Structure 1
């Protein structure tokens, strides 16, 4: 298929519009106040990763040669300029929200974030004592000069650039650099006074005590301004290394810490002479210079302490039971009779843990095969697999070492598993294994029966509390038989084709997706109802977008729910007027991927681990799986209908990229995440 000549939004610009939607949650006064602070933290963390990966890649492309524009279809240098314009705009909005709105609303709640200039004598002494006991010994000031230049700044570490001056005009100015320690809690709660509550940041504790640090010098004035450098985080790996892959990856991770500077975020109050001095020491393009507020690494604010009313946070939700799936009884015997759907986080990830634990101790279970991508810090999944190996089960674990920013953790887990006798595969040389699949083999009446769990999200009990995903238990041989074939191929490092039910990347996902779309185009051509509903994190593959444009122009009604970037431009006459795109950003992160095709009244429905990105279709091992069980099909359809009705947290994605809420649609308010929880609760307990 030829690449479409139809309109496409640049993926990086589209991603920035997504992050703007995160910022909208921080601005939404209906969101509890502490949660608004956490959305600011998420926005900041997202932007850090964006610079480390996407902007780093664009910089590489911009520096290749003059043919980059011709090869890419766009000018990377222009995109970098557009990125800076948007980022500066968003940073201004961020600063306004934090400094002019959220700080003042905290004060209305009698919660005060104090800086170093606002401490009275008693609180000042409390802070100084804390500094001397907990902080001072961790600080290592660097005093650069002609013989001792400024050291390389670490990636995503907050520093103070400090200027020491005397009143005498002929005295030489000295600079110092201090790394803000990450091993100490960023927030210190101060003693309460008259029902007033106080918090001070680690940054301001250090500012308050600068004279303790530099008391050997006779300077009258000490100024400190924060800076944070973001570096290129892309890994350069030798793709043909196999036996020494872990060593190669480990070395690449070390290099990542010293990658090319991508962005210098600096306190906009920093005097020009200090900024000039700093920039002169760094190999940084002008595009990477971003003014910010006095506090960087704002992602730490996701742990901002709630020392006020409970209502300042979202109330904790109690995970609901899965109807007719009794966790106190054997999971495998129940799955043998029917399929079950777990809707995370509304229902508990513990069902998956029970499934693995039971398989680990069941004497009839002979083997467990699983693919792992991102794991919790203290993973109960890993513990269950180790327990299975200790009990004599054959455990095969494909642990993807190339999971971005989880590489180091996955290297650690690889060692733990191998120590206990688990057969660990590190993944494939040229492909990431991103599927979320598990297969348990059990000997029953002289034959092997397979039980499976297939999911849209990771086997990670921590993220399962905040990511909206779907997870299926099934013993259907049409699914489990093909999973067995897939795992056999992964162990042999071969890709098989010819799956009848599963939709597997990298060989067949694109083709099967196009076939499903073509059937809807055919139905539309015959004057029959034709529609497609797709939910995903991101849509950027140009050929897929071209296919959706083709279907929409042919009369197929297309509804898309896309949380993140969307390069398709809806609502253009003659091109995409039959395509509607919405994005839901709310308390939980919408992470599930779901495909629904009208199929002439007999809907086809798939869950999948894959977004519609080129990498997921062509360069990753992904697994989509059909939903056969009628009860589960209805449940998923009801959930997707609830999401399509959302007029509270749903934004319209359009050619103007204005992120307008859909709040003007109807007199009744619908909020998908709240309504889904209510729906599942009622479904279990009518």
Structure 2
């Protein structure tokens, strides 16, 4: 049921709303129409999402509890009560997760002649194969830690999100315990065993170790030996001063080293663990009861994203080859084509190669004088970084604002910072007190008429890896309304100065809130004047209380509001007197919906913006974000068509309602619409 605050406006707590989003991910794992390997991967995504939720959101709530048990979060909720509700929901979802894996996925794999077997299901031949593999590959990596009964000796520090066995050695008159870390960081979690008569067998590294515990503890004359999986999730928030300097980089590195030793947030344990063993862990690790989450036999299920598909392509989604952008030729100069019109690249349906080509052309074009770019998250082998270094080595002035505070990418971005500086790029490592989350690039090119500016602005990162799985949009434009604003913005970032009064773009932290309020107020005015007032807003998250209040005001003024929100949504739709003209849908499918799009009716002359910002307080007030208008009529129609397709989805769209029951929006007729497939076909056949 919905957790609504009894105050001036109805709201759902952001953490609880996020858990309902992750339940939608679990729904994909439960959907029998989804290919089997993809269902397994959705289980892995669910698990990975939950890990990060505990590392960040639950960690923050625990900090609030520590400050004062009466502390209220920004949406007016008691953090202690929310933590209790979180545990209840998570336990329910974990049970659903275990059922899906053990009672459905495993059995359907077996129907495909694929067997995930454990140590008790090995016959002599496969047992010999496993033991030889263990002795050759696994045993050299294992160093058991024998645990003392003496409580005065500190319990070993368990690393964040690593999997361990708590091993129970039973002797005639006593019990000994040991810890064994499962070395998934240096070897595959899965071993494919020799095929037999068309039957395929896979065993997990966990069960390989269980099978060979006697090799590991051979010096002890025990009666029985048992091993149970545990995984600790820690507080991953970094405690550092917001000071952009060399000292900041040192402080960040030190804080990253402490992340693996943060406060325990959750101990996920095998529900078959004996009570005396669990009590031993709780007492030695000094865990709060709220931190205990019973789970299945296997933890760190995110590793199943890489589960080997030994059953063939029919068990995965059919391939959707990346499409070309209509009339944008990779075999010609991007600049010359941009000079004629704007272009939109819609990822992952269309190729990220257009963005890479844009940067590579800038790197070698003798007329290009300067490149300015903001980077947040990057691919492991980044062509973007290579292009920027090549540009610097070709004599271009390259200015890169690389955000070191990108959560969980801090260490990688420190590495990229060093690579860029070694390559001659001018690197700015951030802005005091603000994360730079904007996805923008501006290139200055010397032409006959003087310096001409070419820009690409995006809703997602300059990241080749995520560009294959995230739905985002990138705009190529030379429109001076936009490029002049970007020039001013980049100059401000260089001096750590923020401006107001941009002609076209909407920028956080100074302007986004007021500009959005004005756009909402305009729709209210249009409605009062007898025109049709409406908004269509797409985003990942909606949690800003004041923004929700403005949407409620617009609703009460007669404005029709359609929201597409992938993740958390603190607005409660369908409430009389608040939101009876507001509908909210969430699309969860094979690709991650990541684009932010704002459409305002504007009395019939629609305003369309793409943005890097969600409607969260952090994005509006505490980050550098850029929303940019779509001015070219052809591109505007393309964005509108894509949104219309998403509003017709009756296959993968869920209704966000007062009950938060994630009800599918079913077809009212026999025509089936699945937005991601329909968008692909729209772009494929678009002339």
Cα displacement (A) at 1:70 = 8.6
Of the three residues 430, 435, 451, the one matched with 1:432 is 435
Indicate whether 1:485 and 2:488 are aligned: yes
Of the three residues 132, 155, 166, the one matched with 2:160 is 155
Aligned partners of 1:649, 1:243: CA distance in 2, in Å? 47
Secondary structure at 1:397's aligned position in 2? strand
Cα displacement (A) at 1:513 = 0.5
Residue in 1 that maps onto 2:398: 395
Residue in 1 that maps onto 2:475: 472
Cα displacement (A) at 1:255 = 1.3
Residue in 2 that maps onto 1:631: 634
Residue in 1 that maps onto 2:287: 284
CA contact (8 A) 2:444 2:454 kept: yes
Cα displacement (A) at 1:283 = 3.0
Structure 1, residues 535-570: CA drift from partner, whole Å, max 9, x if none?
000000000000000001110000000000000000
Indicate whether 1:578 and 2:591 are aligned: no
Residue in 2 that maps onto 1:221: 224
What's the TM-score once normalised by structure 1's chain length?
Answer: 0.98
Aligned partners of 1:349, 1:569: CA distance in 2, in Å? 36
Aligned partners of 1:198, 1:431: CA distance in 2, in Å? 51
The alignment of Structure 1 onto Structure 2 pairs a total of residues equal to: 679
CA contact (8 A) 1:4 1:543 kept: no
Residue in 1 that maps onto 2:3: none
Cα displacement (A) at 1:148 = 5.3
Residue in 2 that maps onto 1:176: 178
CA contact (8 A) 1:155 1:230 kept: yes
Cα distance change on mapping 1:4 and 1:397 into 2, 3 Å: farther
Of the three residues 292, 300, 303, the one matched with 2:303 is 300
Structure 1, residues 498-527: CA drift from partner, whole Å, max 9, x if none?
101000000000111010000100111122
Of the three residues 93, 96, 108, the one matched with 1:93 is 96
CA contact (8 A) 2:523 2:600 kept: yes
Aligned partners of 2:56, 2:73: CA distance in 1, in Å? 22
Secondary structure at 2:165's aligned position in 1? strand
Cα displacement (A) at 1:72 = 5.9
Secondary structure at 1:143's aligned position in 2? strand
Cα distance change on mapping 1:435 and 1:192 into 2, 3 Å: same
1:198-217 correspondence to structure 2 within 5 Å: 198-217=201-220
Secondary structure at 2:319's aligned position in 1? coil
Structure 1, residues 458-505: CA drift from partner, whole Å, max 9, x if none?
000000000000000001111111100000000011001110100000
Aligned partners of 1:616, 1:584: CA distance in 2, in Å? 22
CA contact (8 A) 2:75 2:545 kept: no
1:229-308 correspondence to structure 2 within 5 Å: 229-240=232-243, 242-308=245-311
Cα displacement (A) at 1:149 = 4.4
Residue in 1 that maps onto 2:415: 412
Aligned partners of 1:682, 1:239: CA distance in 2, in Å? 49
Indicate whether 1:128 and 2:131 are aligned: yes
Residue in 1 that maps onto 2:677: 674
Cα distance change on mapping 1:360 and 1:227 into 2, 3 Å: same
Cα displacement (A) at 1:67 = 4.2
CA contact (8 A) 2:509 2:625 kept: yes
1:331-410 correspondence to structure 2 within 5 Å: 331-410=334-413
Cα displacement (A) at 1:574 = 1.6
Aligned partners of 1:549, 1:500: CA distance in 2, in Å? 28
Indicate whether 1:541 and 2:544 are aligned: yes
- Structure 1 unaligned spans of 5+: none
Cα displacement (A) at 1:632 = 0.6
Cα displacement (A) at 1:243 = 3.3
Cα displacement (A) at 1:418 = 0.5
Residue in 2 that maps onto 1:505: 508
Aligned partners of 1:506, 1:70: CA distance in 2, in Å? 22
Cα displacement (A) at 1:188 = 0.5
Cα distance change on mapping 1:530 and 1:71 into 2, 3 Å: closer
Secondary structure at 2:418's aligned position in 1? helix
Indicate whether 1:559 and 2:562 are aligned: yes
- Structure 2 unaligned spans of 5+: 1-5
Residue in 1 that maps onto 2:522: 519
Structure 1, residues 634-658: CA drift from partner, whole Å, max 9, x if none?
1111100000000000000001000
CA contact (8 A) 2:73 2:79 kept: no
Indicate whether 1:328 and 2:299 are aligned: no
Indicate whether 1:74 and 2:77 are aligned: yes
* Superposition CA RMSD, Å: 1.2
Secondary structure at 1:473's aligned position in 2? strand
Cα distance change on mapping 1:667 and 1:70 into 2, 3 Å: closer
Cα displacement (A) at 1:309 = 2.8
What's the TM-score once normalised by structure 2's chain length?
Answer: 0.98
Cα displacement (A) at 1:590 = 0.2
Aligned partners of 1:416, 1:260: CA distance in 2, in Å? 33
Residue in 1 that maps onto 2:616: 613
Aligned partners of 1:73, 1:35: CA distance in 2, in Å? 38
Cα displacement (A) at 1:290 = 0.1
Aligned partners of 1:240, 1:189: CA distance in 2, in Å? 49
Secondary structure at 2:398's aligned position in 1? strand
CA contact (8 A) 2:432 2:496 kept: no
CA contact (8 A) 2:544 2:616 kept: yes
Residue in 1 that maps onto 2:56: 53
Cα displacement (A) at 1:238 = 1.3
Secondary structure at 1:647's aligned position in 2? coil
Of the three residues 177, 185, 188, the one matched with 1:185 is 188
Aligned partners of 1:442, 1:20: CA distance in 2, in Å? 49
CA contact (8 A) 1:261 1:283 kept: no
Aligned partners of 2:300, 2:75: CA distance in 1, in Å? 33
Residue in 2 that maps onto 1:665: 668
Cα displacement (A) at 1:71 = 7.5
Secondary structure at 1:337's aligned position in 2? coil
